[in-house]
Structure 1
């Protein structure tokens, strides 16, 4: 074999050896990498990775709205409830509902939530639903509310008194009452005599088949009782005092609303935009204060203010 052939053979052998070394090196690196992937992390490394992952999740996840709402609803406030000569402190939450508040009041006063009326300045809770929150009513910590309503025992005694009074009537008197009920108020002699003199010149505008909010006062009407002749009268509604004032030229009667047992009302025949309204303080007809030419659009509001009717 000549020198050129020897050189070529040696070069080929050298290249093969180098290729074998490179292949073995790559196999070694691959094995090392695989072993490293399977090797468990140290406790410190594991904690660091977990902490980093948690931080990312906390940054990317918004705070729970329900959690925020729950926190807000727990804002504590204390409300002062004035009832007659007593004052009660009631602790509740700013986002508690009117129903929640009335249930607490019931436990303290024994007044049925259905007949409770709470007055705050000139705002009456009759205009709100049980789902209305205290915040919606602008009630805050320290707010004072006036409570109007009769206890269950007072309601029972009133019902018993009325039943007892009706039980003493004879059959003839019952027949008389039934006949009177069929006859319109404006046709009865007692009322027809007053209506005959006509509407007062300063009477307010009356609207039939409409209900409007209660004004602070009503003027331009007549008033009478069973044994008195008519007088010009003004009604003033003092909701913050739970009173209705009956003003005449001579006197002013201040009547507690919870003393009024019933409100009788009926449109005047031929003038249905006006009504006759009776404020009944006792169980007899003599206790009724009759008001004539009341604008009919305010009758429902008068009943709501005095009797807490819906």
Structure 2
């Protein structure tokens, strides 16, 4: 079971939108040396929605090659068409990913039975550990705990990233019959510390992009049940948890990494550069966390 701070890593780009492969590999190396426990390649924060299939798989392949087995690599392979999700998951397995992260189908709003059949089809088709991903604020689709419990019985569905941002949902999941080997990850940095103290196994994080060491230490303390230390570290990061979302992710976090001289200032349309009105806010959050 993967535990701890799992970064949903950005995909660095030049101002013209081309992928900056050198910066990607440097970021991966930085995360490994700073203690990040696992890396999600090509998730929401990695701009999966605007990468073509070749780029998508190339990011996964290059990340795996750079990691060299030192930490797990989880590939984002979700899609709103089941056949496409199966294809991406198989390609991620072939590229060497240790697991896949599959967001609920977006826009088409499947019912709970449709969600179950979608994920079961992917699990049946590809022998790779798979993590469900619920983020209704982006997808317009909320996977309920009862559906998660049905899916948890499938052997290669091994976990859930829950990004609804409500501790009541985390408690409902922790109280459900999901099995001892099923992992629950927070997908909301603002509530991740408390979620882990409640019993979650880690955080799939945006904040970890800019504060990998602190996020690793916070998650480790929370997993050990050290509330005082976990909350102290989390308090230093609270401005980041909040202000990295002053505009839609990954706009602020990519601006922050550029400010830290880690990546160029590139995004792909329809995303645009951070509004200048937010520069001082994000910069202050970086300074409060001690990373700028």
Scaled by the length of structure 2, what TM-score is found? 0.21
- Structure with greater helix share of residues: 2
Structure with larger RCO (C-alpha < 8 A, sep 6+): 2
- Structure with greater strand share of residues: 1
- Whose Rg is larger? 1
Scaled by the length of structure 1, what TM-score is found? 0.20
